[in-house]
């Protein structure tokens, strides 16, 4: 086994097949996720998305096209002369809401050190704080309550 590759024959080991890596291929780039954030916050037009993300226009154009190709957003005509578009989240895109809530909470807690806007208040009147719980029993997830069930996963 060579130290550089970890493989006995000197070749690189095959990376673990992983849905996290596959998801990052879709939305893991900074500007892509910020586009999704802006759509959740109500921005729909290119200029608004560009202004609110700070993305360079050429990069933003590429990210919008890629997100559209992957079915995360769709483009809709809102003006015929000249042709102008708005961008909206598809159902696939809307399913990213918990991801954004979790990233915002982590950023507020571990990077910014305070709750940053936008602040969400739940219908109960309290500041919303995302939490993960078991869909079957409703119990909050503690790392000690989880075990791997897939025997092909190695530590």
Residue 86: give its domain's CATH number. 1.10.10.10
Q: Which of 54, 52, 63 is nearest to 26 (CA)?
A: 63
Q: End of a domain among 55, 71, 94?
A: 94
Do 87 and 107 fall into the same domain?
Answer: no
Please give the radius of gyration of the chain, using alpha carbons only, rounded to the nearest integer.
Answer: 20
Same domain, 25 and 50: yes
Based on the fold, state whether residues 89 and 122 are members of the same structural domain: no
Contact 73, 93 (CB under 8 A): yes
Question: The tokens 């399913």 sit on which residue?
Answer: 95
Q: How far apart are CA 39 and CA 37, in angstroms?
A: 5
Is residue 26 included in any domain, yes or no?
Answer: yes
Query: Taking a C-beta distance cutoff of 8 angstroms, is the pair 66, 38 a contact?
Result: no
Q: Tell me: the pLDDT tens digits for 86-129? A: 999 999 999 999 999 999 999 999 999 999 999 999 999 999 99
pLDDT band at residue 3 under the 50/70/90 scheme: low
Does the structure show a pLDDT above 90 at 36?
Answer: yes
Residue 127 φ then ψ, to 5°: -60, 130
Is residue 75 in a domain? yes
Same structural domain for residues 89 and 110?
A: no
Range of the domain at 53: 21-94
Into how many domains does the chain fold? 2
pTM of the shown model = 0.81
In a domain, 10, yes or no: no
Other beta carbons less than 10 A from residue 105's beta carbon? 15
Helix (H, G, I), strand (E, B) or coil at 36: helix
Q: Are residues 89 and 101 both part of a single domain?
A: no
pLDDT band at 143 (very low <50, low <70, confident <90, very high): confident
């Amino acid at each position: 086994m060579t130290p550089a590759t970890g493989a006995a024959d000197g070749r690189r080991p095959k990376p673990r097949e992983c849905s996290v890596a596959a998801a990052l291929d879709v939305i893991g780039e900074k500007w892509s996720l910020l586009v999704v954030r802006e759509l959740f916050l109500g921005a729909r037009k290119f200029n608004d998305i560009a202004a609110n993300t700070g993305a360079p226009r050429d990069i933003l154009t590429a990210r919008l096209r890629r997100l559209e190709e992957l079915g995360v957003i769709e483009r809709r005509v809102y003006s015929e002369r000249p042709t102008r578009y708005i961008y909206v989240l598809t159902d696939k895109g809307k399913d990213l809401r918990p991801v954004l809530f979790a990233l915002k909470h982590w950023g507020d807690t571990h990077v910014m050190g305070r709750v940053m806007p936008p602040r969400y208040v739940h219908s109960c009147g309290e500041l919303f704080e995302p939490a993960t719980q078991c869909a079957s029993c409703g119990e909050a997830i503690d790392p000690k309550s989880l075990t791997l069930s897939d025997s092909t996963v190695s530590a």
